[in-house]
Amino acid sequence: MSAATTDDTCDVVCLGESLVAFRPVRPGPLADVPAFERGIGGAESNVACVLARCGHRTRWIGRVGTDGFGTHLVDAIAAHGVDVSAVQRDPDRPTGIYFRTAGERATTPAVDRSPSAPPSESLSEVAYYRAGSAASAMSPALVPREAAWSGRILHLTGITAALSAECRDLLRHLTAPVPGRPLLSFDVNYRAALWRNSPDGPSVLKDLARRCDLVFVGEDEAEAAWGLRGAAAVRAALPEPGLLVVKHGAQGATAIARDGEALTIPAPAVDVVAPVGAGDAFAAGFLSATLRGLPLPARLRHGHLTAAAALTVPGDLGEPPARERADRLAALDDTAWNALRIDRETNRDTESTA
């Protein structure tokens, strides 16, 4: 698949920061890990990569430094089939990096292992080195609206809003309710550590979510950020989006339309290797099914199947299931779907009533 499209149109534009990710070569706290493997990370570029592997034309818009880390990110994302022609290189600011343990992201500030963060006994650690990064300089002046709006869907996340005041201005600019905008997809992605110095984060994220058409949020995130429990409460607080998807982790996900009609689809059992990246993969699977015009139950099931692929690998990006296989699994009857298990060794489905 080509790393660039031949014109200015694409299926999905994903805008946000991508970072070089360092994953430990063995389990344990960061203080005890002797070496790390290099990969890529970043919610928006993850979605772009997975969608490209699903056969869609995607473009990632971001900013990286002119350093070697920036070159690695652009090359690695392009290798997944993503158009990187709109990525900007900043000679004065670095590319962001981070180190993490194998645990999932948390919704409390203790996961931030930046130099100013207090010590923690948490087994899930993420040390971000992204302050002053090239991506944090994104602004309406640097990212033209016409570039961000060049796809059928624009996918954004709350992580970008946490990077800087300029980034928040950019997201408000891109989500303005004016004619010509594409379908706006927004993953709340609440990271308490990133909002440590900006306590207005929860209100910022709520305001941005209310300006979008399709919103993804984890049930745990909604409670941590807004004190809301349950999908119905989240929907009541976000009445504007055409569709809200509340993720319940291993239990599944609930989609609620603006009129209040709700649908819950359980997630298949998965032999989990690492939970990082599953939320981005879920969004990609759901968006892929949306682009194909599939009904809502199939969109939720495709989201679960793509998330399962991410759960069965140690990095952020798993190989999404082939379309034929995903369509076959998404079409299972409820009994067969509820018995489905995704095996981590083969990333193949096992249909069993056991």
Active site residues: 280
C-alpha to C-alpha distance for 224 and 135, rounded to whole angstroms: 26
Q: What spatial distance separates the first Cα and last Cα of the chain, rounded to whole Å?
A: 40
Please, which residues bridge with residue 89 across strands?
Answer: 64
CA-closest candidate to residue 138, choices 174, 114, 192, 190:
174
Q: CA 241 → CA 82, 92, 257, distances in Å?
A: 27, 38, 8
Are the C-beta atoms of residues 11 and 57 closer than 8 Å to each other?
Answer: yes
Any idea how long the chain is? 354
Two tokens, residue 131: 């302050």
C-alpha to C-alpha distance for 19 and 21, rounded to whole angstroms: 6
- HSE, CB side, 13 Å, CA atoms: give it for residue 211: 20
Two tokens, residue 125: 């650690």
